[in-house]
């Protein structure tokens, strides 16, 4: 992944942890949120980041920390962006937390790559509910698999009893690795209608965690997790103790200014329970381009705000089909916008809602807006997952794809995304289709706008530059 970043005299110093695990589903988000909530309750300023693309975990992490959560990814967001965000945070907060993605060494780049690039100690979270002595072997492997990995220790999660915790701790090769054991934390109530794991502390549905704003007892859930963590050596650490994990974050190089390609234009951004997959950095990029950003709710508003372009981000339109279909005023307003050939950029769920209809997982069919010829069908399993990039003229947008539906869409395919490892040798038909219909560009591709503001401006009506 290249040489470590060179420090300068003006590097910013701050305690930091990267919370990782041997695999998904171990409890990284719960532990990260608990740690953030615990220190925020104690009056410390906490900045949480999410490693890799993710729209749902940040809902919980932002609620726990009380501060916006941004992505860090050495490929998608880029090293320069990571340096800028980490250095800025280190100057302003008392603790930086980074939630990893998948397993510690999964993906390219992985969470381990990020930890090594910046010297951030790794806190490994292991679901120990069904193990004893093997816990020690797993902790040893995570720590020593890659030479030079910065290391903080290991936290056993979902532990059954004090005796169980003793067995886990006794299995460690190095007693200093032990940062405690968290019992399985159950919410006081459940979250009806949010999926098969609704009894979990942070409930799940397809695509990931249920967004925090959907649960009325969300703060109680976070406080329960923080209280459980408080009983561990990790949770008992104060500001002085955290200094053992202080990191010097380097000064970023100057960035090129974003050209004002959307100066004087208004971009309307859909944002509600059906369209909630919005990176804060994407909105900031629109503003950096000179756009006036206004938000609207396709679920609740009767018409579009006065605007020059529309961004329909991803989300869960399949959970709100009846309300979307019933809002005929919004459908008519969108239709008028499209018929006027005004630009629309629609990502994943936004593209789905533009289609004629959707077949849901139970086999029933529901109408959508009918602004793109075609229909989508929900699947029981993931249809696509992974990093993608989209080239527009001389500019390339980086991002990712992650969806459970498939599309049978007859609109013209203007171009396709490709996986970064494919380069220019991508096979015909590889990647996600980018459909073009009147002023609409639509795809399953989720774009990280800061990676190419020029390409974003083109999708929203400006020239590629």
Per-residue model confidence as pLDDT tens digits over 270-328? 999 999 999 999 999 999 999 999 999 999 999 999 999 999 999 999 999 999 999 99
At a CB cut-off of 8 Å and minimum separation 6, what does 388 contact? 398, 399, 400, 401, 417, 418, 419, 420, 431, 432, 445
Residues 15-69 have pLDDT tens digits of 999 999 999 999 999 999 999 999 999 999 999 999 988 888 888 899 999 999 9
Buried/exposed code over 26-56 (b: 16+ C-beta within 10 A; e: otherwise): bbbbbbbbbbbbbbbeeebbbbbbbbbbbbb
Residue 431 DSSP one-character state:
S
* Residue 228 lies inside a defined structural domain of this protein: yes
**What pLDDT sits at residue 383?**
67
Q: Does residue 239 sit in the same domain as residue 291?
A: no
Say how many CA atoms lie within 13 Å of 105 toward its Cβ: 9
* Residue 328 lies inside a defined structural domain of this protein: yes
Give dist(CA 400, CA 282) in Å, integer: 14
Among the candidates 249, 276, 302, a domain finishes at 249
**What's the rounded mean pLDDT across residues 103-120?**
96
The CATH number assigned to the domain holding 337 equals 3.40.50.880
* Residue 256 lies inside a defined structural domain of this protein: no
- Proportion of the chain above pLDDT 90, given as a percent: 77
Buried/exposed code over 81-91 (b: 16+ C-beta within 10 A; e: otherwise): bbbbbbbebbe
Cα distances (angstroms) measured from residue 193 to each of 69, 183, 198, 219 = 27, 26, 7, 19
Phi then psi for 365, rounded to 5 degrees?
-120, 140
Q: Does residue 279 sit in the same domain as residue 219?
A: no
* Residue 464 lies inside a defined structural domain of this protein: no
Q: How many domains does the chain have?
A: 2
| pTM exceeds cut of 0.85 | yes
Contact 344, 441 (CB under 8 A): yes
Which residues constitute the domain of residue 377?
266-459
Contact 36, 97 (CB under 8 A): yes
Contact 453, 81 (CB under 8 A): no
Q: Does residue 451 sit in the same domain as residue 316?
A: yes
Residue 396, Cα to own-chain centre: how many angstroms? 20
Kind of pairing between the strands at 12-20 and 246-249: antiparallel
Residues recognised as catalytic? 348
Q: Is the pLDDT of residue 429 over 80?
A: no
Q: Does residue 283 sit in the same domain as residue 404?
A: yes
């Amino acid at each position: 992944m290249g040489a470590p970043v060179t420090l300068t005299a003006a590097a910013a110093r701050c305690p930091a942890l990267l919370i990782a695990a041997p695999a998904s589903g171990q409890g990284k988000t719960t532990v990260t949120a608990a740690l953030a909530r615990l220190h925020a309750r104690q009056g410390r300023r906490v900045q949480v980041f999410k490693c890799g693309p993710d729209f749902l975990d940040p809902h919980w992490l932002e609620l726990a920390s009380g501060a916006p959560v941004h992505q860090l990814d050495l490929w998608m967001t880029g090293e320069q962006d990571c340096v800028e965000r980490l250095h800025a945070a280190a100057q302003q907060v008392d603790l930086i937390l980074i939630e990893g993605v998948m397993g510690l060494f999964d993906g390219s780049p992985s969470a381990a790559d990020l930890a090594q690039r910046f010297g951030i100690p790794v806190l490994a979270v292991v679901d120990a509910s069904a193990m004893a002595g093997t816990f020690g072997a797993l902790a040893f492997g995570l720590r020593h698999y890659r030479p030079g990995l910065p290391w903080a220790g290991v936290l056993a999660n979902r532990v059954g009893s004090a005796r169980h915790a003793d067995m886990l701790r006794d299995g460690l090769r190095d007693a200093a690795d032990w940062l405690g054991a968290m019992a399985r934390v159950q919410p006081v109530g459940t979250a009806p209608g949010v999926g098969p794991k609704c009894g979990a502390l942070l409930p799940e549905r397809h695509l990931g965690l249920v967004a925090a704003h959907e649960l009325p007892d969300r703060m109680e859930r976070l406080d329960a997790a923080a209280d459980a963590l408080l009983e561990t050596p990790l949770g008992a650490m104060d500001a002085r103790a955290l200094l053992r994990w202080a990191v010097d974050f380097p000064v970023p190089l100057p960035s090129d200014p974003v050209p004002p390609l959307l100066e004087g234009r208004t971009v309307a951004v859909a944002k509600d329970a059906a369209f909630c997959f919005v990176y804060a950095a994407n909105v900031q990029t629109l503003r950096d381009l000179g756009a006036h950003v206004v938000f609207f709710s396709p679920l609740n508003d009767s018409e579009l705000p006065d605007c020059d372009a529309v961004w329909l981000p991803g989300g869960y339109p399949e959970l709100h089909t009846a309300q979307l279909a019933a809002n005929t005023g919004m459908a008519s307003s969108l239709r008028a916008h499209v018929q006027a050939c005004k630009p629309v950029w629609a990502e994943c769920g936004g593209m789905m809602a533009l289609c004629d209809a959707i077949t849901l997982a139970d086999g029933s069919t529901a109408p959508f807006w009918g602004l793109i010829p075609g229909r989508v069908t929900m699947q029981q399993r993931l249809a696509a997952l992974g990093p993608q990039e989209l080239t527009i003229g001389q500019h390339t947008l980086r991002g990712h794809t992650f969806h459970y539906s498939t599309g049978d869409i007859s609109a013209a395919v203007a171009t396709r995304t490709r996986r970064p490892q494919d380069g220019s040798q991508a096979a015909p038909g590889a990647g996600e289709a980018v459909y073009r219909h009147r002023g609409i560009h639509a795809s399953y591709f989720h774009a990280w706008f800061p990676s190419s503001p020029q390409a974003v401006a083109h999708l929203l009506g400006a020239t590629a530059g």
